[in-house]
Structure 1
Amino acid sequence: MTSDVFEPLAGLEGVGSAARAARDAVDVLLRDRGLRKVSADMTAEALLRGAHASAALAGSPSTLDEVRRGDGDALAAGAVRMTSELMGLAPQLNTAPVKVWTRLHQLAAADLGSEDQLGHLRTSREPIPDDIPGLLPAPSADEMWERLSGLAQALTRPTKAPGLVVAAIVHAELAVLRPFPTANGLVARAAEHAVLIAKGIDPLSVTVPEVGQLELAGSYAQGLRDYASGGLVGVQAWLLRSCEVIALSAERSPLNTSSQ
């Protein structure tokens, strides 16, 4: 393994320019890194919208209003719990990424499985409830552990790759590896969001990447299948799609609504 596993992926054709364009969209929202004044309420609203969208992708029927009232189903409740701790967990990614992921799972799955499963990585291939329909079968526990360990090590090292690329790879790896017995899609999307915060792409957490994923849901599972089985071409396609998601997440920020 090279010391910077993300940089070669960022060099795939078109990825660098797409990442710059997506970053520009976020920078415009934040007034070209001047980091416009953002209230705690605005951050909370963006996180709430993201939680609802992520739960919807996992199959939750709860509406945004229901989630806002605290009346959402178990998937929505778990997504809200994760986003409530996201700002505090994100800084730990540089030193303890596995700890962050297991904490996210504890929060996401508190109402979805037995207590002894919370935060514990799986030790066998089955059963793994699929909250991202249409994915390829999960890899063996041994392969999962090996790849997850490599990803965690890579996150603790410096990289020249854009933070957007790192976030997209974390999302895809957690989604296809399915390291937990439940709620892997919820955890993968929250983990991507945490990287965007930690890498300074959106330190105020006012974009809503989960909303971008929901709006592009038609290509979500296929993008992950291509990532898992399509070699570098599949990885490239996933990264380009992820940059599109981030640009869309800036457009859908509640900051844009509030400024109109």
Structure 2
Amino acid sequence: MSDPDVVESLRALQNLPGVAEAVDAARDACTELRWHQALRRRIPQAAAESRVRGARASAALEGAEVDVAVVRDLMRGALSWPDADDHVMRTLRSAVQATAETEHVRSLVGVSPAQALARLHVAAGAPLLDPEQVGRPRVGEEDSRELVEVGPAAPPAVVAERLRGLADVVAALDSAPALVVAAVAHGEIATLRPFVRGNGLVARAFERALLQESGLDPTGVAVPELGHGREGATGYAGALAAYASGTTEGVALWLTHCAQAVRRGAQEGLAIADAVLAGRIS
């Protein structure tokens, strides 16, 4: 059951300057995508291509730039993953596995966010970390050196409490604006950095699953990761730093950034749907 105070706080965030307009534009774009002719019968093909482009964009935000055709071939099994210990390919594999796992955790994010987070981190963390560090938050002296531009990661002693707060936010999914819930969840995971590595990948995958489960993007064809990368890794980190500041202006900037990312992601989804309808994607 959602906490009324949390619901009210999330609703209030939508009233910050510029946020409501951006949220409305994103919602309209998602509605247009939902009713695209190609999605009447060919959702699986379009959603699969969305995951290809989403994984590529998420990896690019981690500094791993790979051609979309290569990502597509890797994800459909037409190309084998290289055995070499290559940073770019390990990062891409993390992004691919986390994005693919969103299909399996979308029904979990609203009812068991901790389990969903763990599963997403198992997917993202396996190529990056020792097995004993995968699927669990940081403990002891463990630190995260990711997204250092945002500021220091929360110490492990604070992580558990903050994750409980995240669960309260996600529990409001049925009562508060879905896009605001998804944006706050994304921002909390990325700034908290509960894991040693893979935090940004997990945050973006968690947001994707929330957008689908909320009904804002029920087909899973939008590509919000591509929207987050519109201004590159620097712009993305800057928006997260604004959120981490906790100021009214900073939080509004992050929420607007996320709404614009979803709108652009829905527009990319329309391009995917057009390609499916034209037979360019099978």
By the TM > 0.5 criterion, same fold? yes
1:255 pairs with 2:270: no
1:162 pairs with 2:177: yes
* Counterpart mapping for 1:110-259 below 5 A: 110-124=126-140, 126-130=142-146, 132=147, 134-157=149-172, 159-217=174-232, 218-253=234-269, 254-259=272-277
* Counterpart mapping for 1:4-153 below 5 A: 4=7, 5-31=9-35, 36-70=40-74, 71=81, 73-124=89-140, 126-130=142-146, 132=147, 134-153=149-168
TM-score normalised to the size of structure 2? 0.85
AA aligned opposite 2:56: H
What is the alpha-carbon distance in structure 2 between the residues aligned to residue 59 and residue 198 of structure 1? 29
Cα 1:189–1:125, aligned 2, differ >3 Å: closer, same or farther? farther
TM-score normalised to the size of structure 1? 0.91
AA aligned opposite 1:180: F
Q: Which runs of 5+ in 2 are unaligned?
A: 75-80, 82-87
8 Å contact from structure 2 (residues 25, 263) kept in 1 = yes
What is the alpha-carbon distance in structure 2 between the residues aligned to residue 159 and residue 143 of structure 1? 27
How big is each residue's C-alpha offset from its partner over 1:114-145, in whole Å with a ceiling of 9 and x where there is no partner?
00011010124643131x35221112222222
TM-superposed deviation, 1:161 = 2.5
AA aligned opposite 2:26: A
AA aligned opposite 1:137: P
What is the alpha-carbon distance in structure 2 between the residues aligned to residue 221 and residue 11 of structure 1? 24
Cα 1:158–1:42, aligned 2, differ >3 Å: closer, same or farther? closer
How big is each residue's C-alpha offset from its partner over 1:54-87, in whole Å with a ceiling of 9 and x where there is no partner?
0111121332222222247111112211222212
How big is each residue's C-alpha offset from its partner over 1:17-43, in whole Å with a ceiling of 9 and x where there is no partner?
221111101111222899644331211
AA aligned opposite 1:216: E
Aligned length: 259
* 3-state DSSP of counterpart to 2:215: coil
The two structures, once aligned, show a CA RMSD in angstroms of 2.2
What is the alpha-carbon distance in structure 2 between the residues aligned to residue 101 and residue 33 of structure 1? 34
Cα 1:67–1:225, aligned 2, differ >3 Å: closer, same or farther? same
AA aligned opposite 1:112: L
8 Å contact from structure 2 (residues 39, 46) kept in 1 = no
Q: Which runs of 5+ in 1 are unaligned?
A: none
TM-superposed deviation, 1:259 = 4.6
